[in-house]
Structure 1
Amino acid sequence: MKKDIEIPEVKDVYVAAVREFNEEFRADEWNVYLINDSNKELEMVLIVSEGHDKKKKTSVMRHRLERLPAKNFAKIEFIQDDVLSLNNEFKISYFIGNQMLDKTFKFSKNSIKESALQIPIIPKKGILAK
């Protein structure tokens, strides 16, 4: 029975941490974005995030986006420097048409740092979650 269930693979959807300057606080900060690099709109996007290691655990954060258009991105949340030393997970669930897809994106501890790479769609440098 389980072999008959088709689980679609998530393609062209990413989570990225981007270092940005906050004008209001006059400081650099890390922001996490959801990137839709596909040609289809994502609907009813649910995001659950948390940071953890063997000794510490952050609060669970929940976010929702009604829609994320094709070839677009949306800011999910600000991430404090204190939690960069933890494993940070972002569980993303969404619909394309009537099909639900989900994937857990992970930033390993200390992987979010200044040596950033180019990321899809966003015209800034950042780090993609795995």
Structure 2
Amino acid sequence: MKADLPENIVEDIAIAVVLMSETPEVKNWTVYVVNFKDEPITNVMITSKGYGEKDGKQVKTSLLRHFIGDLDANSYAGVEAIDTAVFGLTNEYWMSYYIGKEIFDKKFIFLPESIVDSNIIRIPLLNKPGVMIK
């Protein structure tokens, strides 16, 4: 059964945690999906959750579902705001989308403490600082 399904490889799609603004007291971060393809993707759905250990206890955030809809070629869309308090957890984004009638899906995982200054790059298309998984 599972062997009959096509192995659709996800390429040229990224999830980025982007620094939108900052003051001396607060940094505001937003998660984006970025389509680097030269073709649109449709019916984009993303689930997000965080999990791991904090203060010696296992914690889990709520599972959130985000319907983005269609995403044009070489474009991006906001998924959710993210609080710096969860940067110490594993943050998982599971994305599915269509190209034509073919479905694609991929899990993007930001490991604990991976959203740090030393990993920040300039995110293409958004032209803002952030951490990206492609």
- Do they superpose with TM above 0.5? yes
Match of residue 79, structure 2, among 76, 79, 85: 76
Say if 1:2 and 1:61 are closer, same or farther in 2 by CA, change over 3 A: closer
2:39 aligned residue: 40
Summarize the alignment of residues 79-118 of structure 1 with structure 2, pairs less than 5 Å apart: 79-115=82-118, 116-118=120-122
Secondary structure of 1:82's counterpart equals helix
Q: Distance in 2 between matches of 1:2 and 1:92?
A: 19
What is the TM-score normalised by the length of structure 2? 0.87
Moved more, 118-127 or 79-88: 118-127
RMSD (CA atoms): 1.9
How big is the shift at 1:2?
4.9
Q: Distance in 2 between matches of 1:90 and 1:97?
A: 23
Say if 1:11 and 1:123 are closer, same or farther in 2 by CA, change over 3 A: same
Moved more, 32-41 or 110-119: 110-119
What is the TM-score normalised by the length of structure 1? 0.90
Query: Residue deviations 1:45-90, cap 9 Å, x none?
Result: 1110000015010001110012100000011011111111000000
In structure 1, give the amino acid aligned to 2:9. Answer: E
Q: Distance in 1 between matches of 2:62 and 2:125?
A: 29
1:119 aligned residue: 123
In structure 1, give the amino acid aligned to 2:98. Answer: F
Aligned pairs, number: 128
Structure 2 residue runs of 5 or longer lacking an equivalent are none
2:132 aligned residue: 128
Contact (CA 8 Å) 2:68, 2:79: kept in 1 or not?
no
Summarize the alignment of residues 5-16 of structure 1 with structure 2, pairs less than 5 Å apart: 5-16=5-16
Secondary structure of 1:85's counterpart equals coil
Structure 1 residue runs of 5 or longer lacking an equivalent are none
> Which 4+ runs in 1 deviate beyond 6 A?
none
In structure 1, give the amino acid aligned to 2:108. Answer: F
How big is the shift at 1:4?
4.7
Answer yes or no: is 1:29 the counterpart of 2:28. Answer: yes
Q: Distance in 2 between matches of 1:122 and 1:62?
A: 23
